[in-house]
Each structure stands twice: as C-alpha cells, then as structure tokens.
Amino acid sequence: MADYDLAIIGGGLNGVSLARDAAGRGLRVILIEQGDLGGAASSATPRLIHGDLSVLERRGFRRVRRALAERRTWLRIAPHLVRPMSFVIPAHADERPPWLLRAGLYVYDALANRGGLPAATTLDITHHPVGNALKRPFGIAFEYADCIVDDSRLVVLTALDAAERGAAIRTGARCVRADRTDIWRLALIDRGHRRVITARALANATGGWTSLVAETVLRQPVPAMAAVQMSQIVVPKLFESDNVYVFQNTDGRLIFASPFQPDFTLIGTVTHGFTGDPAIVAMPSADVSYLCEAVSRYFRERVTPTDVVRTVSGVNLTLAAAGRRDLTMLFHARRRKAPLLTIFGGDVTTSRLRAERAVTRLTPFYPMSRPWTSGATLPGGDFPWDRFETEVDLACHRWQFLSEPQARRLVAAYGTRLPDVLGEAKTREELGQAFGPELTGAEVRYLMAREWARFPEDILWRRSKLGLTMPVADRDALAVFMANPLRTG
Ligand SMILES: Cc1cc2nc3c(=O)[nH]c(=O)nc-3n(C[C@H](O)[C@H](O)[C@H](O)COP(=O)(O)OP(=O)(O)OC[C@H]3O[C@@H](n4cnc5c(N)ncnc54)[C@H](O)[C@@H]3O)c2cc1C
C-alpha cells in the first residue's frame, strides 16, 4: 500500500489549495515544497480578488460571473485576508469613453451577487478626496467594489488548514525524481536527507517549473507551454484615500495602484514572455519605467524608477496553443499508470474552485467525500467580513498595549487565532525581544512553530510585509533569533 493517496509537488497557491481540498475529503496527502510556501509566483500576484474587468471587455461573461461568485466565497471564508475596497477608474479623454466604462460596470454588477458590497457609481472627483492625488484634468471617475487579498498569507493559511485536516506539509524538500507505475515512487531531498515516499496519485503544481519538472523529474510528456513573467513595483505611499486606482494605459491595459501596508503603494502589473530559471526572476528596468510612466499620467506626483523600494516578480506557465490560455489543468490516467494531475497558472480568485475541480477528477480512483471548501473558513476567519473593525476593537481592548494600526495588522494576519500569538500578555515586554517597532519574539516563535517559517524573509516578506520598513540591525537580530528561537528573550 502506498504511503499517501496524493503527493503534491509545489507549495504555491495551486499546490496548497489541492492539499486543503484533498485532505478535507479524506485523502492522505503530502505536499512537497523545495523552498518556502508561496515563495515563488504566489507571493507576486496583483493581490486582487475580482471578476476582472479586462475579461469582461473580452466578453468572458461566464468567467466573470464565476470569479465574482468566488469573490463572495472568499469574503465568507477568509474575511481577515480579503478586504473589500473601493476601486476608482478616472475617465481619461484619450481612453475608453465614459459611457462604455459605465455600461461595463453596470454589467459587472449585474453578473455579481454583491452580498453587501456597494453598486458602482459615478464620482465628481474635482470635489472628492479620491481626486486629491490626481492631476487636474480628471473630472469624473467611476467607483466600483472589488477586493484585495494578502496573497502570501492566503497560501500559508490554506496550507495550515490542510495540515490541520491531516496533510503532511514538507517545506525545504525538493522532489528530484518520480517513477510512475501503478503507484508513484518519489525521491526527495528533504532538508539535506534523501527520502523515498510512495503515493497513489501525483500532482505537479510547480508553477513556472511545471514543464521542467514534467520533463526531468517525472519524465512525462506535457504539451508546449509558454512562460510568462508578471511584475509589480512598490513605492512610498502616493495617496491618502483608501481606494485602489485603476488607470487605463495608452496601450489599453489596466494598471492598478493599491494601498500597500500603511506607508506604501503597490503598482502593477506588467506581463511578458520569460525565458530562464524561474528561481532567479528579476524585473527588467524597462518594465519598471513602463509602470512609472503609466501611473505618472494620472498622479500629480511624478513616479520615477528611483522611487521604487521593491520589485515583485513571478513566473508561471500558460498553454502555448492559441485559445487554450484558460486551461489550467491537465489530467492523465491509464491502466497500470497511477494518475497524474498537472495544475498551473490561473488567478488567485479562482484558485479554490480550480483545486476543487482538480481533486474531483480523482473521484473515480478513491472513495472521497463531496466538495467542501467553499463552506469552511480558513484558520482565523470565523467572523463575518463586515465585522472586521469589531475584531480590531476587540483586540485593542484585550491587548491594551497594541496601537490601533498594530491591532489592524495582527487581525488581518491571524483573525480569531490572534490569542494563539499573543496569549495572555499584558505588556509589550511580555512578548519578548522586539525586532523593529512591530515584530516580537512571541510572533516569530508562533510563525516558526505553526506556519513553517524558517528564515527572516519567510516572515519579513511572506507572513508579513514588515521587511519593507525593518532596520538592517533588527533584521540581523531576527536572523540570530531564528537560528535559536527557543532561548529566552
Ligand atoms: C500570465 C499570468 C498572469 C497572471 N495574472 C494573474 C492575475 O491577474 N491575478 C492573479 O490573481 N493571479 C495571476 N496569475 C497567477 C499567479 O501568479 C500564480 O499563477 C498563482 O499564484 C498560482 O501559482 P502556482 O501555485 O501555480 O505557482 P507558484 O506559486 O510559483 O508555486 C510553485 C512552487 O513549486 C515549487 N517547486 C518547483 N519545483 C519543485 C520541486 N522539484 N520540488 C518541490 N517544489 C518545487 C516552487 O518552489 C514554488 O514554490 C497569473 C499567472 C500568469 C502565468
């Protein structure tokens, strides 16, 4: 008998979503990730939970409706990670005519069950705070509701839920060979140790590595795939209003400028073909300039490449064959050949549904329970989304040493699991050593013990974004602390 029912290679959003779904349906699951969870493309997404207006423009009504239904699901199951926002599109004389934008948003709203989110409306931005940061000529804008998400925490909390339902999650473990007979036999290098495991089915969820892993590790044929790089930039905060701007660029693409942590703005995305190793993806300077120029058409404050504090890039694959870009899953099973699922690309919004459909493909092979993930909250998400501020108030009341922004960050990260991090602490000092103004020894220990954090970047960029502001000396102290987290202090 095989050790596992399903082995998953890759701990990005696609891999962890498969693990969560399959573990909750009763399968014995192992997930193997060579680095950190969400360490590749899944922490470099546009961070949007949306129906995608550009798909609407291409008349993908069914796709938009499906994604908007998933938006509602996310608000229900991850109210701490997913935040409803006002999205504002200033009307630009040289771009799509205002009537077209208005009509598009009308259809967008009509395709959604808005579930408490406001309907689209027209704003006179000469007299509205959202106009303050913009250049003068913009008179009107269209405002609609969509959501932003903490993409890398979504990956980690999905993995946590999978683990709590019995999945084994192995980070720092690389699959170097997989032999296929009526079961899969996988050779892993697991934190320096060679290990062999067996599984009845295998999922290749290795994102930008999908073809490479298929060819060199699994030695199985895959159709031709094209690698695509997506990039974004982080700059110091460009606007005070609490909304996402959606700008129309001269080439017709939509560029998003979102509030990012209290002091920054995230601008993206730019995409193009990629060749090379997905592990060393860097944002070309031409892409940085493209985004700076695109937003400088709109913002009063000119954005230049020297303002960029961080670039964020990821690579994933799409099927190269024309017209197959929506296809994100391949399934292969034959007599005497254990099943192989290949899952790649796709967006964050539909990741839960994609995993549900993928795992369902295995039902002829195993007894398993019905799809369940749309009805179960992620860890810490057991409160209604419109009570997020109440959760922040409760945290401020219970841990009176927290400032309101600190409580907001912690609730957004841990939701109702916050007591597991802060315990009964009455003072900040009781939480141990401080790393910068926010991070404490208690939080670091929690992240190492429960959320698979091993290195400073795992915490400073993926489980939080505190690395954007943390002084170098505190980073160094954190590295020392993480090397020996059990010591006191
Ligand atoms: C063109 C394009 C546009 C996109 N646009 C959007 C968008 O608009 N909105 C949106 O939400 N998302 C978008 N995405 C999706 C998003 O970036 C990711 O595709 C998504 O997060 C899913 O990632 P993943 O899990 O497939 O891959 P990844 O997050 O890259 O995870 C793959 C993991 O596999 C691991 N791995 C590789 N080889 C091995 C091995 N041998 N052993 C163990 N582990 C291994 C890697 O370390 C990595 O962590 C887009 C993707 C593409 C391609």
Q: Is residue 489 part of a domain?
A: no
Q: Is 35 in the pocket of ligand 1 (CB under 6 A)?
A: yes
pLDDT reported for residue 137: 76
Q: Please give the residue range of the domain that contains residue 440.
A: 385-483
pLDDT tens-digit profile of 430-447?
A: 999 999 999 999 999 999
Do 302 and 350 share a structural domain? Answer: no
Q: Work out which ligand 1 atom sits closest to the CA atom of 279.
A: 47
Question: In this model, does residue 488 exceed pLDDT 80?
Answer: no
Atom index in ligand 1 nearest the CA of residue 212 equals 38
**Residue 489: what pLDDT?**
53
In a domain, 488, yes or no: no
469 phi, psi to nearest 5 deg: -125, 0
Domain of residue 423, CATH code:
1.10.8.870
What local confidence, expressed as pLDDT, does residue 13 receive? 98
- Kindly report the CATH number assigned to the domain that includes residue 302: 3.30.9.10
Choose the residue to mutate in 32, 36, 42, 324 for probing ligand 1, maximizing ligand atoms within 8 Å of C-beta.
42
* Number of alpha carbons in the 13 Å side-chain half-sphere of residue 433: 19
Q: Is 169 in the pocket of ligand 1 (CB under 6 A)?
A: no
pLDDT above 70 covers a percentage of the chain that reads 98
Flag whether 49 is in a domain.
yes
Q: For residues 53-70, b (16+ Cβ closer than 10 Å) or e, as one string? A: bebbeeebeebbbbbbbb
**CA nearest 254: which of 99, 101, 72, 147?**
101
Number of domains composing the chain: 3
Q: Is 131 in the pocket of ligand 1 (CB under 6 A)?
A: no
Measured distance CA(227)–CA(452) in Å, rounded? 28
The answer on 47 and 33 residing in a single domain is: no
What does the chain come to in residues?
489
**Phi (first) and psi of residue 246, to 5 degrees:** -115, 110
Same domain, residue pair 214 and 352: yes
**259: nearest Cα among 411, 413, 88:** 88
Provide the pLDDT confidence category of residue 136 given band limits of 50, 70 and 90: confident
Cis peptide before 181 (omega within 30 of 0): no
pLDDT of residue 319: 85
Q: Are residues 134 and 244 in the same domain?
A: yes
pLDDT band, very low/low/confident/very high, at 321 (cuts 50, 70, 90): low
Residues 344 and 467 in one domain: no
Short-list 72, 38, 55, 7, CA closest to 349? 72
E strands, 205-328, in order: 225-236, 243-248, 254-260, 264-273, 310-319
Average the pLDDT over 452-476 and give the result: 97
The ligand 1 atom nearest the CA atom of 188? 42
Q: Which of 171, 230, 232 to mutate to test the pocket of ligand 1 (most atoms within 8 A of CB)?
A: 230
Regarding whether 239 and 137 lie in a shared domain, the answer is yes
343 CA closest ligand 1 atom index: 26
Residue 287 and residue 253 share a domain: yes
Q: Which residues pair with 450 in a beta bridge?
A: none
The span from the CA of 77 to the CA of 377, in Å, is: 4
Atom 3 in ligand 1: which residue has the minimum CA distance?
A: 230
- Shortest CA distance to 31 belongs to which of 476, 464, 341, 354? 341
406 and 439 part of one domain: yes
pLDDT tier at 215, thresholds 50, 70, 90: very high
Residue 380 lies in a domain: no
Residue with the bigger pLDDT between 56 and 472: it is: 472
Share of the chain above pLDDT 90, in %: 87
Instruction: Report whether residue 315 contacts ligand 1, using a CB cutoff of 6 Å.
Output: no
Q: Is 188 in the pocket of ligand 1 (CB under 6 A)?
A: no
Task: Give the Å distance between the CA of 433 and the centre of ligand 1.
Answer: 35
pLDDT in tens, 44-90: 999 999 998 888 888 889 999 999 999 999 999 999 999 999 999 99
Does residue 9's CB lie within 6 angstroms of at least one atom of ligand 1? yes
Nearest Cα to Cα of residue 272 among 231, 308, 312: 231
pLDDT of residue 95: 85
pLDDT at 93: 78
pLDDT in tens, 139-164: 899 999 999 999 999 999 999 999 99
Confidence of residue 242 (pLDDT cuts 50, 70, 90): very high
**Residue 371, in any domain of the structure:** yes
CATH value at residue 29? 3.50.50.60
Per-residue pLDDT reduced to its tens digit, 84-119? 999 999 998 788 889 999 999 999 999 998 888 999
The protein residue whose alpha carbon is closest to atom 20 in ligand 1 is: 42
Residues 141 and 244 in one domain: yes
Does one domain contain both 188 and 276? Answer: no
DSSP 215: I
Q: Can you say whether the dihedral through the CA atoms of 441, 447, 449, 453 is positive or negative? A: negative
Does the beta carbon of 208 lie inside 6 Å of ligand 1? yes
Residues 208, 86 share a domain: no
Asked if 107 and 31 sit in the same domain, the reply is: no
pTM higher than 0.85 = yes
Q: DSSP letters along 57-122, please?
A: HTT-HHHHHHHHHHHHHHHHH-TTTEEEEEEEEE--TTSS-HHHHHHHHHHHHHHS--TTPPPPEE
